[in-house]
Structures are given as structure tokens and as C-alpha cells.
Amino acid sequence: MNDTIQSNLDTAIKAMDIVKQYGFGSSTITVLNNISITINKGEIVSIVGPSGAGKSTLLNIIGCLDTFQHGYVQVLDQDISPFSYDELATFRNKHIGFIFQMHNLMPEFTALENTMMPLLIRRVSKKEAKHKAFELLENFKMADRAGNKPAELSGGECQRVAVARALITQPDIILADEPTGNLDRKNSDILIELLFNDCKDKGSTAVVVTHDQTIAAKTQRIITLIDGMIQSEIMN
């Protein structure tokens, strides 16, 4: 680990002086411009800002899904800056759960089977995976829909299954990119309450990118990005 990075038992994510650029021919676009953030373990944080501000790019970088040109990122006391793609994937799969705007459920599998999948990939026994998946679906008020395939579920129900799938491995960090973007107000509120309650119960860290100010207001801290730079940080 870089000697300049000090281990902090309370820090889940620390990004310093992050620069992310994309080249198009002779042109270069700077998406993130010297971004620095620190997120503590167990903290629930929202990232807001207009489209194109760099919110999803920042989420992908701290989630080990993307690389960057300058700066460093420390996740759970690990400097991931020098990691190869394979090392990023291994670290990501062990410690991070993702929730996206599109639920990305596999259409040929039931809600229960979709929820079980991350555990089966980790070679957990089918019996144990099924038990844990059903228990989680019960918590998400989806037990009576466990045998239904995505096409037989509403958009809100599919997204609840997607959240359950992200949480089943009990990741240290949950990263959510517009998780309620396709949902109405009622289903958005239900989903966020279920997600945040689970994070609080288990002490997980959550970072949520959202355009929804109602959701942002329920987080402990709101970080506003504009033009690839942090404009403000507000404690709720």
C-alpha cells in the first residue's frame, strides 16, 4: 500500500485528486476534475447533480468498474489504484454490491433463483443459497412472488428482487446508480426504505446516485457534483 495512505478503521472509501478523462481523436474531455471524497463505514451518502456531471463515472471508479488517470482510491483500506482489471474484479465481487436503474434480472429464472445466483457463483450449496434468498425476499415482502419470473412481476417488484440479489452476499459497500429511476413515488419510497433499513441493520456503507431529492434527503450526507467537480457537501 502507498505510504501516503493512512489506514483508517472508520473509512470505507477514500478518493483523492481523481481525474478521469476520455480522448476523442485530438480532443480530451475531462469528466472528473480533481475529485476528493471520504465516506465512512456505515454511512449512507447520496450523490446528486445534473446529467453529465460525472456522478455515475465517480460511482464506477470507487466501485472498481472503471479506471482513472490521476489520483488514488482506497476502498476498505486497500489502495485499488494499481490493481489490474482481474484484481479489480476479484475485489469488487468480494466486497461490493451494485444496484442499477435497470434491474438486469435473468428472464428465464424466478425471483428466488435470481436472488440465489451470487451465492451459487460463490459455490455456496443450493440448499443454503435457497434458504438465504427466500429469507431476504421475505424481508422485502416478496416471498409470495418468489416463484415468479421477471415478466410476471411489476417494475417495482423486479427492482426489489435486484436489491435482494445485491445484498445477499452481505457486501461491505452498496453502490446504487439511479435505483428508483424507473419507479413511481410509492414504489421508490418502498424500495429505498427496504434498502436503507438493511444497510443500517448490517452496518453496510451505501452510496446512491440519484436525481430524486426526496431520496437524497433520506441519506446522511448529500454530495453535489457539477461539471466533474464537487460543488457542495451537506449533512442531513
pLDDT tens-place string over residues 202-229: 999 999 999 999 999 999 999 999 999 9
Q: What are the angstrom distances between the C-alpha of 184 and each of 151, 165, 192, 222?
A: 18, 21, 12, 22
| pLDDT band per the 50, 70, 90 thresholds, residue 8 | low
The mean predicted confidence, pLDDT, of the chain is: 92
pLDDT at 182: 87
Q: Is residue 225 part of a domain?
A: yes
What is the C-alpha separation between 58 and 65, in angstroms, rounded? 10
| pLDDT band per the 50, 70, 90 thresholds, residue 112 | very high
Q: Is residue 2 part of a domain?
A: no
> Are 15 and 37 contacting, i.e. CB atoms less than 8 angstroms apart?
yes
Q: Which domain holds residue 35?
A: 11-235
> Of all residues in the chain, what percent carry a pLDDT higher than 70?
96
In the chain, the number of structural domains is 1
Q: Is residue 58 part of a domain?
A: yes
What is the C-alpha separation between 123 and 118, in angstroms, rounded? 9
Neighbours of 4 (CB within 10 A): 8
Cβ neighbours for 147, distance < 8 A, ≥ 6 positions apart = 110, 111, 112
Q: Is residue 53 part of a domain?
A: yes
| pLDDT band per the 50, 70, 90 thresholds, residue 4 | very low
Domain of residue 77, CATH code: 3.40.50.300
What is the C-alpha separation between 190 and 40, in angstroms, rounded? 25
Q: Is residue 219 part of a domain?
A: yes
- How confident is the model over 57-94, as pLDDT tens digits? 999 999 999 989 999 999 999 999 889 989 998 899 89
